[in-house]
Every structure is written in C-alpha cells, then in structure tokens.
Amino acid sequence: MQPQYQMGYDRAITVFSPDGRLYQVEYAREAVKRGTTAVGIKCSEGIVLIVDKRVATRLLEPTSIEKIFKIDSHVGVASSGLVGDARSLVDRARVESQINRVTYDEPIDVETLAKKLCDHMQTYTQFGGARPYGTALLIAGVSDGRARLFETDPSGTLLEYKATSIGTGRAAVMKVFEDEYNPDATLTDTILLGLRALNTATEGKFDVAAVEIGIIETGRPEFRKMSKEEVAGYVSKLDQK
C-alpha cells in the first residue's frame, strides 16, 4: 500500500511530490536496477564494454539477446533495463550519427551524441502522455584520439566515468572497480578486470555463453563485438588466475 503522502503523485510524470520527487522517473530507474549488469571501463589502450545477458533457460538462443550495439564506426553502447526502450534509443543514436556525417562530413563527437540522447530522454520527464525510458546506456567511443565513456539514466542525466556499471549488480561491480581499477592497464588486463567484477556481481553464476564483450581501441577507433571464441579465451584466462 502506498504511503498517504505519495498517493496521486505517481499518477502523472509532470506532477512533483511535496518533497520534490518525480515518482515515475524513480520507477524507471528501478526498471534499470532490475536489468542485467553491464560494465564499461576505460584504459590506456581504449574502452571495454561487458554485459551479462542473463540467459534464463537453456531453451533460449543466447545469440538472440543483444545488449551491446554498434552505433557508428567509433561508438558503441551497452544497455540495461527494458530492451525495447534501449533498441529505440539505439535507433535514434544511429540516425543522429548519420545526420552528422551527411551534414558535416565527419563522425559525430561522442559527447555530442550522448548529450543529444540525454536531451531526448529528458523531454519524456517533462510532458504528459508518455512515460520515461526504462533503460540506461553506457556510451563508449573515441573522439579526437581520446577514449570517452558516458552513462545515461532515465531522467536524462549524463555523467562521464573512467569505469562504471549499470543494472542489478552495480554495487558489487563498483566495489571491485574502486579497489582494483588502474587507468594505465592494458586492454587485456582491463577485460579481465571487467570479467572478474561481473563474476562477483553474478555471485558465481558466470556463464561464458551469456557474456558479450565490445571493445574500441584508441589507436584504431573501430568499435567491434568479440566473437564467442575470443570471449571464451578471456574467460579461460580468468579461470586460471
């Protein structure tokens, strides 16, 4: 049962509660917290995105679950929360990237793209008749030779991180990053750190078939998703440690 002071204030996105809260936005954040765990880490050689796809049944084809998306040649994103909402934002990001290429004949700046997406998400917290997006994104890319990693949330907030996580295992992952993150680490060591943090967050229920890894290197800014064999190789290295 809802507290008396909350009654009615969560019925519409445009109504603030007496203590200055927008409950629909907070509910959207809860949808993200219940989503699968995704991590993003910057290092000396580029950026790594790793996602636990959480395959709930052996009857499901793991390849049908997509949580890491390529936006442009130099940008990729990882999502947590409602998959349909994430796919809608990914489509919008791809369109914004292509508009920039057609208009200015150059790839879009990663921060510019992240701000455009967050501006779009923020409008859905301001007007009635539509709900906020129930998803958060980790946006990773390289602009002007610099690796950039941004995190969005349903309110349209934009933050830049060296290493971060979204989804159900965020607290456990962030604790590992606080203790072990090294900005000067190699790409291989960074991937292993991300897998170790994800393994901690999943409490030992780690399945190589449910892990997706995307990387982009500073010297060769071409975002790509690793093959199943490459992922298995890194997981085996983790098991040996």
Q: pLDDT (tens digit, 9 = 90+) per residue, 128-175?
A: 888 999 999 999 999 999 999 999 999 999 999 999 999 999 999 999
The structure's pTM equals 0.92
pLDDT reported for residue 182: 95
pLDDT reported for residue 1: 46
pLDDT reported for residue 204: 65
Domains of the chain, earliest start first: 35-54+64-240 (3.60.20.10)
pLDDT reported for residue 208: 78
97, amino acid identity? S
DSSP string, 80-147: EE-HHHHHHHHHHHHHHHHHHHHHHSSPPPHHHHHHHHHHHHHHTTTSTTSPPP-EEEEEEEEETTEE
226, amino acid identity? M
Contact 214, 223 (CB under 8 A): yes
Which residues of the chain are under the pLDDT cut of 70?
1-8, 204, 240-241
Per the rule left: phi > 0, alpha: psi between -120 and 50, beta: everything else, 82 is beta
3 state SS for 160-199: ECCEEEECCCHHHHHHHHHHHCCCCCCHHHHHHHHHHHHH
Distance CA 28, CA 85 (A): 11
Token pair, residue 202, equals: 């999943």
